């Protein structure tokens, strides 16, 4: 989980070479399919989504965060 958060945070620096929406969707899918969570890493991921204004787009993560926490 922590590695996914690092990738999500670091993605902005390589954004010129990839489709941002597809990469964000792939990260979200990895988090949603994960069965093992690290509390702090999952919270960091939710915070990153929120800061980028993506929490509204990926509401499944917000719902999972409400259930998880």
Whether the pLDDT of residue 3 is over 90: the answer is: no
pLDDT band at 60 (very low <50, low <70, confident <90, very high): very high
The DSSP code sequence of 13-60 is: GGGGGS-HHHHHHHHHHHHHH-S---HHHHHHHHHHHHHTT-TTTTHH
Range of the domain at 28: 2-68
Whether the pLDDT of residue 65 is over 80: the answer is: yes
- What's the pTM value of the predicted model, to 2 decimals? 0.72
Q: What's the number of domains the chain is made of?
A: 1
Q: What is the pLDDT of residue 57?
A: 93
| pLDDT tens-digit map of 4-57 | 787 777 776 665 666 778 888 888 998 888 877 678 888 889 998 999 899 999
């Amino acid at each position: 989980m922590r590695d996914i958060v690092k990738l999500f945070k670091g993605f902005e620096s390589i954004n010129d070479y990839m489709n941002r929406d597809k990469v964000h969707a792939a990260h979200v899918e990895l988090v949603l399919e994960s069965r093992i969570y690290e509390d702090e890493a999952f919270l960091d991921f939710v915070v990153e989504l929120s800061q980028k204004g993506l929490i509204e787009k990926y509401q499944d993560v917000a719902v999972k965060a409400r259930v998880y926490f």
